[in-house]
């Protein structure tokens, strides 16, 4: 009897679904009746949400969004380039400043060393100040040449010519020199990129050497040193 009753309930349920499909109204049997043993134990499936065509199109970028993103990226790249350019310019200026100062120090040390070892110093300009200096040694010295051989000299001249400090030597029999600006040999470059040179003798046995250069950035640097002659010590 129980099995037959269950079968009748199942038929009534199917009949109610048929009537509901025809009339558009839900049958009360659909809410209450079910065939025993067929629906129990089935997993529940979550409903699937289907997007309309307009909602699916919202996932892509619009042309305006792409243009704005490109403009923002361009601004960031321009700012980064300006920062890099500023750092690079500052680094180059620092390198140029160090090179100019080192060039002047090497030249000043070279001139000061020879002045200190000399017997007499002459600054051939009225007022004891000029752009060249002549040093006379008490004994003859020898300077090797690039092509071979050597030059014997006892007088040295440092002077400025076309932005370079040159060093010339000559062998002089006796003072005074009849040709103070001629017959100099060697004329080797001591420093380059020099803007001005000053030699002065503020007191007996003292020589002040001043060198000024201008870097590629337009900045001027000056090195000044005071030397005391050993003969006057």
d(CA 87, CA 81): 10
Per-residue pLDDT, 73:
93
Q: What residues contact residue 6 under an 8 Å CB cut-off, 6+ apart?
A: 35, 36
Q: How long, in residues, is the chain?
A: 233
Q: Locate tokens 């243009």: which residue?
A: 67
pLDDT at 217: 66
Residue 16 has a pLDDT of 59
How does pLDDT run along the chain (233 residues), one tens digit per residue? 545 555 555 555 665 565 555 554 544 444 444 555 554 555 555 555 555 555 555 567 888 889 999 999 999 999 999 998 888 888 888 788 888 888 889 999 999 999 888 877 877 654 455 788 888 888 888 888 777 778 888 889 999 888 889 999 998 877 777 777 788 888 889 988 888 898 888 888 888 999 998 766 677 888 899 998 876 55
* Dist. CA 164–CA 156, nearest whole Å: 16
d(CA 136, CA 89): 46
Nearest of 116, 143, 121 to residue 134 by alpha carbon: 121
CA distance 193 to 214: 7
Average pLDDT for the chain: 76
Give me the pLDDT at residue 76, please: 94
Taking the C-alpha atoms of 160, 166, 171 and 177 in order, what is their torsion angle to the nearest 10 degrees? 0
């Amino acid at each position: 009897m129980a099995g037959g009753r269950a079968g009748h309930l199942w038929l009534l349920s199917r009949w109610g679904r048929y009537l509901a499909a025809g009339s558009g109204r839900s049958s009360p049997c659909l809410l209450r009746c079910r065939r025993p043993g067929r629906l129990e134990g089935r997993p529940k499936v979550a409903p699937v949400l289907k997007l309309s065509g307009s909602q699916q199109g919202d996932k892509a970028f619009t042309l305006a969004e792409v243009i704005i993103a490109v403009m923002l990226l361009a601004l960031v790249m321009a700012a980064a380039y300006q920062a890099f350019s500023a750092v690079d310019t500052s680094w180059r200026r620092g390198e140029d400043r160090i090179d100019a100062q080192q060039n002047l120090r090497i030249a000043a040390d070279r001139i000061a060393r020879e002045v200190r070892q000399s017997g007499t110093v002459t600054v051939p300009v009225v007022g004891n100040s000029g752009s060249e200096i002549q040093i006379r040694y008490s004994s003859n010295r020898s300077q090797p040449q690039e092509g071979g051989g050597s030059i014997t000299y006892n007088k040295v001249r440092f002077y400025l010519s076309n932005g370079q400090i040159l060093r010339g030597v000559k062998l002089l029999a006796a003072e005074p020199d009849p040709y103070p600006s001629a017959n100099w040999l060697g004329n080797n470059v001591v420093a380059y990129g020099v803007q001005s040179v000053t030699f002065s003798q503020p007191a007996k046995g003292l020589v002040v050497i001043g060198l000024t250069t201008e870097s590629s950035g337009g900045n001027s640097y000056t090195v000044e040193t005071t030397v005391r002659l050993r003969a006057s010590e």
